[in-house]
Amino acid sequence: MPITICVGMMPVVLLLLLQAAGIVNAFVALPVTARLPPVSRMKALQGNTRIAPAHIQGSTNHGQGLSWAAATAVAMTAITVVRRARLCACTDSQARPVASSKCRVALMAGDKLPEGRKLRVAVVGGGPGGACAADELAKAGIETYLIERKLDNCKPCGGAIPLCMLDEFDLPLDIVDRQVRKMTMISPTNKEVQIGQTLKDNEFIGMVRREVLDSFLRNRAADNGAKMINGLFLGMEIPKDKSEPYLLTYNDFSGQDGNSRKGDKKTLEVDVVIGADGANSRVAKDISAGDYEYAIAFQERMKIDDAKMEYYKDRAEMYVGEDVSPDFYAWVFPKSNHVAVGTGTVIDKKGIQRYQQGIRDRAAPRIQGGEIIRVEAHPIPEHPRPWRVNDRTALIGDAAGYVTKCSGEGIYFAAKSGRMCAQTIVKRSENGTRMIQSYDLMEYIREWDAKYGPTYFVLDALQKLFYTSDAARESFVELCEEEYVQQVTFDSYLYKTVQGNDPVGDVKLLGKTISSLVKNNSKAPDAMRTLA
Ligand SMILES: Cc1cc2nc3c(=O)[nH]c(=O)nc-3n(C[C@H](O)[C@H](O)[C@H](O)COP(=O)(O)OP(=O)(O)OC[C@H]3O[C@@H](n4cnc5c(N)ncnc54)[C@H](O)[C@@H]3O)c2cc1C
């Protein structure tokens, strides 16, 4: 929840502000244009070049609204115009397909697979991203291999998922350990704000155990026809031309258990590879996808006594302050029979232990005496990789870098990107009857950026505005008292869309935000409060 809730919370205010400013729309093209490949790569992506206009005109669920600061709007518009101009220039001259339409037709005809032979796709990594991709591919009759090194993997994770994920991915309710309906935001001076008052009876944030969620998704993919390989992916040979397959090498662990398992080295030939192997993706390395900045997240699972657990049974807490993280937030999330207490940081990774001590100290009245049953740490990507498609390989989920900034939410986005990438493969390969190329996979990137680029942008901006000083963090928590903020926050988190945006509410909120920031920046901080 830290991660998830924060998704909801942080975003709240800034989201509204930016919506009101019309900045979101102005920036729809930004993430895409900023990542446009250089000429050489674009040439390799024959046929994918019309992406520019689509991106520029991309629509967003995240609202329009009034202009807020004229100066800001003007600046944003100017930036957008410049980027658009650059993008169009690139589109027209460099990104146009190299092949003529005649060549293209011949190529596509040549790409038809022989009768009876289906497209072969290997999905490396069986987390939510990989499992959902494999499920979608297998359902469409594509020859699908899902390679997962650890079938009982318990990924370090808060496990908070949005309500819409249950319906969208047809997840049974009993997969959810706890239904969180109360969220407490706690400021640097321990001012507590309860949010979640606008939630309807049937609305909640789901808290899952990753070992449960991941294995449910993987088993479903297998039931639908994906071939499960319990193995460690070691690397792959990249084909030298379009007709050659990829040759994957992996250590096959089938029938072997425990940490001492050695595995048998095996190979697998496929036409297409999906890298779903998380933040330390081996597939990304093999295709030279480039690095990304990442946060280090640290979490302790703690068993607390029954009375204390009662408090957390349907509640998650999010703490902000220089003592718990210089650029992120810390959390206490409820799990099945314990809580997860953690924090994260990008800018001071070496200080992570100090920040973990910070959250232990702050939450002490509520977790004191807790027995630590598990300690975990893992990187969280901060932005997409420079390259997410190369040749016939695509990256999804954390391997691609699809965790939202500020909130650290990645489960839904991993599952969604897996599904979106697989649907693109199914469509472009005509249900696995035709070979695909990189320009086919680029369709998934175009769709992804058009749909979620603005979300990433807004959350990034939120983080910059509200996580920079304790005065700004006090304002952030203060603003969360607003019913309007709570409504929009939960709508955008739970349903991944903003419903019924109210321009008058936006303007009022803008006024309150400015006055709160001015107030908290110009006075001495309040005395530290004691948590009850
Ligand atoms: C501490 C922490 C808390 C978090 N809390 C939340 C939260 O509350 N809500 C939220 O939405 N997100 C949260 N996240 C982010 C979320 O965990 C990720 O975004 C999400 O797991 C990404 O899913 P994925 O399928 O892309 O990758 P992963 O879940 O990382 O799955 C990758 C899979 O690939 C397998 N694999 C890796 N390498 C190989 C290999 N060489 N061969 C074979 N298999 C391999 C791994 O075993 C793993 O099963 C949190 C992250 C951290 C670190």
Lowest mean pLDDT among 94-103, 438-447, 510-519: 94-103
Q: How many helices (H) and strands (E) does the chain have?
A: 20, 18
**267, 252 Cβ separation under 8 angstroms:** no
Interval between CA 148 and ligand 1 midpoint (Å)? 12
**389, 440 Cβ separation under 8 angstroms:** no
Give me the pLDDT at residue 328, please. 93
- The residue behind tokens 């920031």 is 517
Give the tens place of pLDDT for each residue, 139-189.
999 999 999 999 998 899 999 999 999 999 999 999 999 999 999 999 999
Region 334-362 average pLDDT? 96
CB atoms within 10 A of CB 491: 18
Give me the pLDDT at residue 11, please. 40
Res 312 pLDDT > 70: yes
Give the tens place of pLDDT for each residue, 222-242.
999 999 999 999 999 999 888
Res 411 pLDDT > 70: yes
- The residue behind tokens 């939510």 is 128
- CA torsion sign for 350, 351, 352, 353 is positive
How many angstroms separate the CA atoms of 481 and 193, rounded?
A: 6
Residue 11 CB-density burial (10 A; 0-12 exposed, 13-18 middle, 19+ buried) = buried
∠ Cα 74 79 84 (to 5°): 125
Give me the pLDDT at residue 169, please. 98
**395, 35 Cβ separation under 8 angstroms:** no
Give me the pLDDT at residue 237, please. 97
Q: Which of 148, 157, 180, 228 to mutate to test the pocket of ligand 1 (most atoms within 8 A of CB)?
A: 157
Interval between CA 323 and ligand 1 midpoint (Å)? 27
Domain 116-157+211-291+383-436 is found in CATH 3.50.50.60: yes
Structure tokens at 413: 């986005």
**480, 12 Cβ separation under 8 angstroms:** yes
**Cα dist from 230 to 148, 252, 380, 400, 420, whole Å:** 5, 6, 25, 22, 24
∠ Cα 398 237 46 (to 5°): 75
CB atoms within 10 A of CB 177: 17
**164, 246 Cβ separation under 8 angstroms:** no
Res 258 pLDDT > 70: no
By alpha-carbon position, which residue is closest to atom 27 of ligand 1? Answer: 278
Give me the pLDDT at residue 498, please. 62
- The residue behind tokens 């749909």 is 451
> Beta 272-275 vs 120-124: how paired, if at all?
parallel
Lowest mean pLDDT among 111-115, 367-371, 436-440, 446-450: 111-115
Among 264, 273, 265, 283, residue whose Cα is nearest residue 244? 273
Q: Which of 163, 411, 420, 455 to mutate to test the pocket of ligand 1 (most atoms within 8 A of CB)?
A: 411
Residue scoring higher pLDDT (44 or 381): 381
Order across the sheet with 393-395: list the strands: 264-270, 246-252, 227-237, 143-148, 120-124, 272-275, 393-395, 389-390
Between the two ends of the chain, the Cα-to-Cα distance in Å is 21
**315, 334 Cβ separation under 8 angstroms:** yes
How does residue 64 score in pLDDT terms, banded at 50, 70 and 90? very low
Give me the pLDDT at residue 150, please. 93
Query: What is the atom index within ligand 1 of the atom nearest the CA of 415?
Result: 25
- DSSP annotation of 468: S
The residue type found at 362 is: R
Q: Average pLDDT over the chain, rounded to whole?
A: 81
Region 18-41 average pLDDT? 34
**Cα dist from 95 to 18, 47, 89, whole Å:** 32, 8, 9
Lowest mean pLDDT among 87-96, 271-280, 339-348: 87-96
Res 123 pLDDT > 80: yes
CB atoms within 10 A of CB 62: 23
How does residue 69 score in pLDDT terms, banded at 50, 70 and 90? very low
Give me the pLDDT at residue 468, please. 86
Among 529, 391, 494, residue whose Cα is nearest residue 5? 494
Region 508-515 average pLDDT? 90
Res 45 pLDDT > 70: no
**Cα dist from 55 to 32, 35, 95, whole Å:** 7, 12, 14
Q: Which of 252, 398, 407, 413 to mutate to test the pocket of ligand 1 (most atoms within 8 A of CB)?
A: 398
Res 106 pLDDT > 80: no
Give me the pLDDT at residue 487, please. 86
Query: What is the atom index within ligand 1 of the atom nearest the CA of 399?
Result: 26
- The residue behind tokens 């258990």 is 257
**E-assigned strands of 443-512?**
none
Region 396-405 average pLDDT? 96
The residue type found at 325 is: S
What are the pocket residues of ligand 1 if the criterion is a CB atom closer than 6 Å to any ligand atom?
1, 3-4, 124-130, 147-150, 153, 155-160, 232-233, 276-278, 282, 297, 299, 342, 378, 380, 397-399, 403, 408-412, 414
